[in-house]
RNA sequence: GGCAUAGUAGCUCAGCUGGUUAGAGCACACGGUUCAUACCCGUGCGGUCGGUGGUUCGAAUCCACCCUAUGCCA
């Protein structure tokens, strides 16, 4: 690994263990894993934190209802989350639990620092308390008759002593932060939070232990329990070694990105930075609020009964692994916006993109290699593989002339619409150049290296949909077209071995590149491709190694070794043809 | 009720700061091919861009109001 690159620290929201993990939880974790894998490919030291939020009355009550000690209950639930993340093949570096001992220490310490700064004070709080809920009600929990929506009883006005955090004190600093470039992502969320700022008040940060006992006690006041957000948000610094591992903390803090759902942006963009300001800790560089995923057009919720876990989907569609789920979720919508997971769309998209376009391409190419070259990557006579990606002046001149010939964008678009420049038999040598040199003859408007850079840029912007669209539309599909145009089976019949070698090599080489591009999203498919291409593949420190070397983005320009023995093992991904069962779990 | 985001072909979505006949993929129809996972390649079908008004020579794109969905807040 190249270690001179700057470290990258990304976190997910920690999940509340009161409910089992479902597709919504998975969405965020997958996106974060994609980013983590992408940055590892870039050679940056990455730290990826996820975990569970385990304190609070609800959890204590649920545990009690099952006759369990809260700790025993949360032990079980956090294992369930870990199992799910294993199923999704997540590469997190630590799974933090708010019940972890070091987290207790960090929260207590953070509290004391904020208290020493005189940002925490005690005051009385009056709220509408519902005995049925064992909690204070928010306005939205109360119906028009002034009753609790759930228990249909009027709540009691209860007054209790709480500690408060001087959030309002940080209004101006927060405004400056929020307005700064790139702190809140996507950009359109900025307005929403800035508007909230004006009505910012101090927040309650503790509850009497009588009401909430399952939590971290306030230092020096055992009668109070630290409230959920101070506890939960602090996980991000605990997970970076705050006060426990100085070298880790210095390496990875401040976090590069807190990946969260749009519902909790307020806490991450206002409360959390203010707490850090108070404690004198550096602020995270960005907070990314992603959208929600619906399931078959319905909100994912217990009451609707459409809670589906990734494991459920793997079983239902008889998937070999979760890659198709990862792929679908990352392409179903523009990241940041809400999306909809539809099961028959899932099936058809996975079949079309992964099985047919990519899978079949890999399969047909390797089959031909097996058949025509005894399973060895074709050797290009008289070509030094080290020079394959060196610019070819003749070709560059040709391309330049082509671009210059286009008077404006309109004409270029027209050419695009008229169809790609198909290689005739005569133009074939140029086309081969295109496949493994700097430019791609199929798409004259976009040289190959630009396309590859474009994919990288899209990943950097968390624009996963476009990163993959570009890969499939501009890099994979053209290879299928190329194969048809070149008709290697005809070349084989005619005995034109040299040309056959060039065509097939070009195809295999492009497949190799594509495997790198899709690796962050579908790591196991990528791994399978590398294995079939004949590489010795293993995993080390959450990185893939090919022939002993860690896979890196730069490998895009390190071509497939001539003569490498491929390892054909059958279809990359079988088509999904299983019957679709209703999302709600209803039978067919 | 306030703030924010979204509402575009049967389905999932692109369309940046307004400009010639609104774009992909999937699905569907027809043709071609056989190396391949009933696959791949080609052609075609398909939309009065949520509604109503307005600004403009010109709006899916800007403004106002309304309807619907989602999140936060009250």
Q: Give this complex's ipTM.
A: 0.93
The single-letter DSSP state of residue A148 is B
Q: How far apart are CA A568 and CA A557, in angstroms?
A: 24
Secondary structure of chain A: what % helix, strand, coil (to 5)? Answer: 50, 15, 35
Q: Per-residue pLDDT averaged across A145-167, rounded?
A: 77
CA A225 / C1′ B59 distance in Å: 57
Q: What is the pLDDT of residue A394?
A: 62
Q: Per-residue pLDDT averaged across A335-360, rounded?
A: 91
Indicate the helix (H) or strand (E) that contains A258: strand A257-261
Q: Is the pLDDT of residue A532 over 90?
A: yes
Q: What is the pLDDT of residue A139?
A: 62
A482 CA: nearest nucleotide by C1': B41
| A354 vs A432 pLDDT, higher one | A354
CA A334 / C1′ B14 distance in Å: 9
Q: Per-residue pLDDT averaged across A464-486, rounded?
A: 87
- C-alpha distances (whole Å) from A527 to each of A12, A310, A331, A518, A536 are 25, 21, 20, 10, 10
Coil, strand or helix at A509: helix
CA A195 / C1′ B55 distance in Å: 28
Report the catalytic residues of A.
22, 25, 130, 133, 148, 151, 299, 302
| A523: its two tokens | 């790591």
Q: Is the CB of A356 under 7 A from strand B?
A: yes
Indicate the helix (H) or strand (E) that contains A378: none
Q: Is the CB of A334 under 7 A from strand B?
A: yes
pLDDT band at residue A393 under the 50/70/90 scheme: low
- C-alpha distances (whole Å) from A429 to each of A423, A432, A506, A568 are 9, 5, 11, 28
Q: Is the CB of A569 under 7 A from strand B?
A: no
| A72: its two tokens | 């025993």
% of residues, chain A, pLDDT over 70: 83
Q: Is the CB of A350 under 7 A from strand B?
A: no
Coil, strand or helix at A14: coil
Q: Per-residue pLDDT averaged across A208-217, rounded?
A: 90
Q: How far apart are CA A226 and CA A109, in angstroms?
A: 12
Q: How far apart are CA A541 and CA A505, in angstroms?
A: 31
Between CA A470 and CA A327, with CA A529 as vertex, the angle to 5 degrees is 45
Q: How far apart are CA A516 and CA A530, in angstroms?
A: 9
CA A403 / C1′ B21 distance in Å: 26
Q: Is the pLDDT of residue A415 over 60?
A: no
Q: How far apart are CA A6 and CA A255, in angstroms?
A: 12
CA A188 / C1′ B63 distance in Å: 20
A413 CA: nearest nucleotide by C1': B23
Q: Which of A33-47, A340-354, A473-487 has the lowest mean pLDDT?
A: A473-487
Provide DSSP, A116-146: HTT-EEEEEEEEEEETTTTEEPPGGGB-TTS
Q: Which of A54-63, A417-426, A504-513 has the lowest mean pLDDT?
A: A417-426
Q: Per-residue pLDDT averaged across A438-445, rounded?
A: 33
Q: Which of A127-131, A215-219, A383-387, A579-583 has the lowest mean pLDDT?
A: A579-583
pLDDT band at residue A411 under the 50/70/90 scheme: very low
Q: Is the CB of A204 under 7 A from strand B?
A: no
Q: What is the pLDDT of residue A429?
A: 36
Q: Which of A12-16, A229-233, A458-462 has the lowest mean pLDDT?
A: A458-462
CA A262 / C1′ B73 distance in Å: 14
The single-letter DSSP state of residue A287 is E
Q: How far apart are CA A453 and CA A553, in angstroms?
A: 10
| A277 vs A474 pLDDT, higher one | A277
CA A107 / C1′ B39 distance in Å: 58
Q: Is the CB of A572 under 7 A from strand B?
A: yes
Burial A165-175 (b: 16+ CB within 10 A, else e): bbbebbeeebe
Provide DSSP, A474-512: IIIHHHHHHHHHH-HHHHHHHT-HHHHHHHHHHHHHHHH
pLDDT band at residue A195 under the 50/70/90 scheme: confident
Q: Per-residue pLDDT averaged across A185-202, rounded?
A: 87
The single-letter DSSP state of residue A248 is H
Q: How far apart are CA A360 and CA A186, in angstroms?
A: 36
Q: Is the pLDDT of residue A73 over 90?
A: yes
Average pLDDT over chain A, rounded to an integer: 84
Residues 243-282 of A with CB under 7 A from strand B: 262-263, 266
Q: Please give the protein residue whose CA is closest to the C1' of the nucleotide B20.
A: A410
A327 and A359 in contact (C-beta within 8 Å)? no
Protein-proximal nucleotides of chain B (any atom < 7 Å from a CB): 3-6, 11-15, 20, 24-27, 32-37, 39-43, 70-74
Q: How far apart are CA A322 and CA A306, in angstroms?
A: 19
CA A487 / C1′ B33 distance in Å: 9
Report pLDDT digits (tens) over A91-119: 999 999 999 999 999 999 999 999 999 99
Q: Is the CB of A297 under 7 A from strand B?
A: yes
pLDDT band at residue A407 under the 50/70/90 scheme: very low
A362 CA: nearest nucleotide by C1': B36
A371 CA: nearest nucleotide by C1': B35
pLDDT band at residue A543 under the 50/70/90 scheme: very high
Phi, psi of A206 (to 5 degrees): -150, 165
Residues 28-67 of A with CB under 7 A from strand B: none
> Quick count: other Cβ atoms within 10 Å of Cβ A409?
9
Q: How far apart are CA A204 and CA A256, in angstroms?
A: 28
Q: Is the CB of A323 under 7 A from strand B?
A: no
A336 CA: nearest nucleotide by C1': B5
Q: Is the pLDDT of residue A444 over 50?
A: no
% of residues, chain A, pLDDT over 90: 56
Q: Is the pLDDT of residue A377 over 50?
A: yes
Q: Is the CB of A362 under 7 A from strand B?
A: yes
- C-alpha distances (whole Å) from A552 to each of A37, A43, A299, A406 are 10, 7, 39, 36
A379 and A501 in contact (C-beta within 8 Å)? yes
Rounded to two decimals, the pTM is 0.90
Q: What is the pLDDT of residue A151?
A: 64
The single-letter DSSP state of residue A67 is T
Q: Where are the beta strands (DSSP E) in A323-473?
A: 339-341
A466 CA: nearest nucleotide by C1': B14
The single-letter DSSP state of residue A313 is H
């Amino acid at each position: 690994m190249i270690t001179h690159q700057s470290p990258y620290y990304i976190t997910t929201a920690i999940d509340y263990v009161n409910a089992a993990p479902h597709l919504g939880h998975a969405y965020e974790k997958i996106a974060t894993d994609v980013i983590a894998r992408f940055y590892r490919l870039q050679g940056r030291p990455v730290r990826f934190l996820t975990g569970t939020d385990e304190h609070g009355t609800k959890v204590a009550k649920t545990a009690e209802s099952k006759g369990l000690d809260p700790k025993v209950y949360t032990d079980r639930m956090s294992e369930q989350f870990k199992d799910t993340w294993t199923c999704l093949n997540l590469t997190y570096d630590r799974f933090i639990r708010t019940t972890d001992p070091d987290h207790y220490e960090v929260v207590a310490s953070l509290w004391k620092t904020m208290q020493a700064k005189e940002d925490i004070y005690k005051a009385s709080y009056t709220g509408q308390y519902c005995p049925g809920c064992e909690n204070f009600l928010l306005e939205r929990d109360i119906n028009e008759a002034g009753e609790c929506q759930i228990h249909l009883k009027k709540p009691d006005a209860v007054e209790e002593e709480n500690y408060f955090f001087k959030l309002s004190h940080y209004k101006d600093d927060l405004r400056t932060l929020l307005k700064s470039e790139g702190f809140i992502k996507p950009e359109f969320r900025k307005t929403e939070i800035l508007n909230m700022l004006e009505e910012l008040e101090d927040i309650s940060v503790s509850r009497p232990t009588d009401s909430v006992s399952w939590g971290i006690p306030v230092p020096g006041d055992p009668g109070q329990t630290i409230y959920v957000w101070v506890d939960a948000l602090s996980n991000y610094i605990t997970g970076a070694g705050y006060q426990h591992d100085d070298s880790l903390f210095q390496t990875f803090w401040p976090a590069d990105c807190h990946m969260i759902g749009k519902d909790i942006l307020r806490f991450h963009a206002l409360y959390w930075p203010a707490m850090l300001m108070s404690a004198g800790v550096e602020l995270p560089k960005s907070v990314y609020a992603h959208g929600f995923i619906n399931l078959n057009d319905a909100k994912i919720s217990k009451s609707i009964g459409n809670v589906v876990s990734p494991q459920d989907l793997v079983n239902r569609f008889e998937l070999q692994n979760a890659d198709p789920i990862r792929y679908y979720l990352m392409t179903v919508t523009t990241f940041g916006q809400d999306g909809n997971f539809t099961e028959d769309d899932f099936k058809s998209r996975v079949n079309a993109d992964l099985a047919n376009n990519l899978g079949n391409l890999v399969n047909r190419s390797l089959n031909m290699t097996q058949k025509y070259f005894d399973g060895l990557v074709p050797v290009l006579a008289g070509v030094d593989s080290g020079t394959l990606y060196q610019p070819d002046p003749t070709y560059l001149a040709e391309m330049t002339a082509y671009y210059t010939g286009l008077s404006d964008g309109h004409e270029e678009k027209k050419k695009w619409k008229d169809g790609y420049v198909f290689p005739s038999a005569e133009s074939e040598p140029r086309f081969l150049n295109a496949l493994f040199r700097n430019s791609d003859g199929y798409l004259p408007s976009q040289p190959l290296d630009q396309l590859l850079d474009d994919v990288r840029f899209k990943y950097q912007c968390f624009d996963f949909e476009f990163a993959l669209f570009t890969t499939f539309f501009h890099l994979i599909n053209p290879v299928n077209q190329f194969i048809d145009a070149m008709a290697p089976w005809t070349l084989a019949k005619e005995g034109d071995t040299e040309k056959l070698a060039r065509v097939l090599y070009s195809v295999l080489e492009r497949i190799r590149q594509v495997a790198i591009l899709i690796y962050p999203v579908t790591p196991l498919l990528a791994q399978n491709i590398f294995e079939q291409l004949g590489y010795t593949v293993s995993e080390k420190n959450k990185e893939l190694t090919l022939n002993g070397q860690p896979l890196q983005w730069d490998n895009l320009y390190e071509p497939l070794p001539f003569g490498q023995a491929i390892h054909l093992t059958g279809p990359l991904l079988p088509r999904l043809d299983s019957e679709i069962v209703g999302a709600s779990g209803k039978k067919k």
